[in-house]
Chains A and B, each alone.
Chain A
Amino acid sequence: MSLLELHSISKTFPGQRALSGVDLAVAAGEVHALVGHNGSGKSTLIKVLSGFHQPDAGSGPATVDRQELRFGDPEGAQAAGVRFIHQDLGLADGLSILDNLKLGSGLYRTAPGWRIRWREERDDARARLDALGLDHLDPEDDVGRLGAVERTEVAIARALQDEEGVRVLVLDEPTAALPDEEVGRLFALVRRLVARGVGVVYVSHRLEEVFDLADRVTVLREGVVVHSSAVAEIEQRALARLIAGGEIAAPVRATPRDADAAGEELLAFEDVWTDQELRGASFAVRAGEVVGLAGLSGSGVHDVPRTLLGGAAVSRGEIRVGAAAVRVLGPTEVAALGVAVVPAGNHHKRIAGLSVRENLTISDLRPFWAGGRFRHGVERAEARSLLDRFGILPREPERPIELLSGGNQQKVYVARLLRTRPRLLVMEEPTQGVDVGGSADILRFIAEAAREHGVGVVLCSSDLEDLAGVCQRVLAFRAGRVAAELVGAAATREAIVEECYLAEGGPTHAVAS
């Protein structure tokens, strides 16, 4: 019998089945990789195990060492020896490593008068770090100044405080924030734990890590286990196909793919390096085409909108808008050149406190300024016509923006920028958190803007359906550069995943239909 066993776990959210009858078994001294695309149910499964989510009735049992776990009971999971390192490590910057280690476990050792016995605490922390092979960490260092690996190491050390009690360690994408060369140190630590008989559940997007570290692999897709085997029994490319779901019917393309109809060049990145993720990215976007950018987190995809908005500094290379090289980047600077960027994340777009009407018109108020006064009637009329054209519901321009559904809010942000008549539209995760109908509408607006108005569109999305459905070309990013270009019918969901997940090393190449 395995160390950790989950039987038939199901979880339904309102309107969506996240997990259906998932089984997972992790043996002692084994690294079990859990892989799957965004929304496949990985995090839901982890959160059921941690007691954060209560699974549907009829799920279970879940056992650790033959002892049954109660669902929805975080303390129970803790007591059973299951520890979690979440992607957000939950460290307190500004406190020392020692204090952070103590955060989880509660009490300091005190002398009379509640005076902390610092010397003993320091020795303790030192011993604990040494035992984990983390002798390069000083317990007195400020956690806020540590690098990404050290932070992950501190989080692990904290999770393993009472080491003898730890049976299962769950790592949720621990390397997402780590540069490649430092992942090795983390792996060494994981291997030490495994050697002591701890079972490790390792959630990752990076397939090369799975092959490097894991003994077994389980693939989730749409809440179902589609594959589970020893890593040795499967090949990397086959695994990528399993994640993407090869048998899914090709989506209907929203736009005709007239490669020759593309117009003048609107945006070009030429060997662009930034202080964040881009490492020599080159690509160009022309008028009237929809270009998809795909890639895992850290691959540089999200650095493209970020760089245009001035959030990442270009250290090398050139960004051209139209024919001219652009030196100073930022929302107003690129807007002046006819480039509209819709970033991801509601807090970057939602101006709560203003009405839907005011949110729609804020990017360009000039049409309403005439004869020394603000023409509120003209503004209301335009807001209403935007609500109609973009199908934003309810049709109440005076409603506070925060009372709209996610999909309708997103439509407001798309409409906000499209009404400024940009020549190039850059959208980051436009359908994230948007229901199916809303997503279809938004993609339709994008396709229409490109087809009928000659707008060039850059679509940075982790939703492969969107990319495959609407883009004439999809550029797959890996390690900060464009690793592959998929043109036309070659840009299938499956092909995109394969290019994004592939290990490093292959030369840049183009795949044409």
Chain B
Amino acid sequence: MALNYDEAVAKYEPTLGLEVHVELNTKSKMFCSCSTEFGGEPNTQTCPVCLGLPGALPVVNGKAIESTILIGLALNCSIAPFSRFARKNYFYPDMPKNFQTSQYDEPICVNGYLDVEIETEEGPKQFRVEIERVHMEEDTGKSLHVGGATGRIHGAEYSLLDYNRAGIPLVEIVTKIVGGTGKYAPQVARAYVTELRDILRSLGVSDVKMEQGSMRCDVNLSLAPIGSGSLGTRSETKNVNSLRSVERAVIGEVIRQSNRLEAGERIVQETRHFLEESGQTRPGRSKEQAEDYRYFPEPDLVPVVPESAWIEELRATLPERPSVRRARLKSEWSVPDKEMTSLVNAGLLDAVEETIAFGAEPTRARSWWLGEISRLANEREVDPTSLITPSQVAEVISLIQSGELTDKLARQVVEGVIAGEGTPSEVIAKRGLKVVSDDGALMLAIEAAIAAQPETAERIRGGNIPAAGALIGAVMKATGGQADAAKVRELLLKHLGQFEKATGE
């Protein structure tokens, strides 16, 4: 009988290791001045350096070093007083020099940790994930496999290479082995990657979009019989590209490895590939086939020796830890858990916080960003914060609060701002979106409505208050929706002598 997950973790203790690659959001590449902009036409962002042309030489992007040190500091690492680049030698067509300029035995950040909290059966529990190293390296180009099964490497007739991504700065964050998680290994893995993503986002050093590959995770996992005190042979599952997949990959490997062990088979040290559809992994390269990378110090680059004063300057700029901040904002705004999660996942904490700082009421600020603005952003497949600024949202909210805009009008104002028609007040002026609050004008419309529907008016006079809806609707229509419906109702009922009765009910 095959073991399921619960049976597996009842017999075996999982040990984790996580390697996360993050693309930095510098303007230029790691070792050359080509743009890092996403989505350019093929081979338009290449030069002799990132194409590995004979004779070309790398020069380090200073901003990339700064970002990496920031990451190290945020992960409680020591910043190495002396660090170096090394060449990792292996052949692959998407790697122009056939070596990756990386760091090996002298990485820039070492020995950090990240505390993560997960829900357990006994309530919330904290785990410390120790960080072994944070180092700099460069990304490869992208290949397009043509012929055979669509886009697949196997069976392709040939491949087409685009080196726009070659040389994009990457930071690799490697944990020490993470033990003692027991059955919570999947949750710890996910919580770690989530917290890491949030930290990187708060530092502003990366877009950290797992779906787009700007953050990629490799999951190392081994099993040992509980109580054996030993470590099993590990597998390395590559390119796990969502938070949910991190969790699923751990579960999948626990089940696969435990069943092999149950069957008396050995675990092979190998790389495996995560299969998004099934949550399982399939074998890649085994250790026996693994390359001998022949690392040696990169002779074309000089050592990185950061001054301690500079490190302290950078340390002083570290933002509040995302988990701490979340807890603070949650209580300040009294937000329900679910909504807080939505805000975090949508990356809207900053926007909401700033909107509130501009004087908006917290509940309205959250609902505008999560509701209407997110909806418009989704339609356009862009980031909500790219559409409108927090101060503009705050302005719209304050106009609603003062009664100058209805919710419906406010939505039109926001649309106008997004369409580039100017600031909220400019849009209001151009589109003429002010609430019609002139009683005289409203009265004319009310009288016209009564004249058009005399029988309805008669029913209202007879005490049928709900019948007022039809006349209010007519007035709203006549004023192009710019009237305050409550105001119309009040004037109408007063005119027909029923206001007292309606408010008394």
Mutual binders A and B: no
Chain A residues close to B by CB (< 8 Å): none
